[in-house]
Structure 1
Amino acid sequence: MRATKRRFDANLQKVRLLVNGAPTREYVCTRCLKANKVQKAV
């Protein structure tokens, strides 16, 4: 039996991304960063 429902939150980081060609700061999960699902602004 479990006392509390364990909640798994995504590991989010605020990163500069290229969105529609313009750099913006957004929260992205570290799995997406590692898998190159988003393009970082250099």
Structure 2
Amino acid sequence: MAAKCEYCGKGPQFGNNVSHANNKTRRRWNVNLQSVRARIAGASKRVRVCTSCIKTGVVVKG
């Protein structure tokens, strides 16, 4: 399952782990996704959305 918000399309960001010896290995920061029941076109449907969409009221729970 893709780590992507179904409303805003926000996905993971990539960067480096940097050790004390300055070794660099790739890592990723995943989006904080929650499975919520949202009202879409008058019907209730389960969607995976990021917490920022829930917080700002983009997703109407129902």
Identity of aligned residues (%): 44
Q: With structure 2 as the length reference, what TM-score do the two structures score?
A: 0.59
TM normalised by structure 1 equals 0.82
Moved over 3 A (4+): none
Give unpaired runs (5+ residues) of structure 1: none
Structure ranking higher on relative contact order (CA contacts 8 Å, 6+ apart): 1
Structure 2: 5+ residue runs without aligned partners?
Answer: 1-21
Within-5 A mapping of 1:1-42: 1=22, 3-41=24-62
- State the superposition RMSD in angstroms: 1.2
Equivalenced residues, count: 41
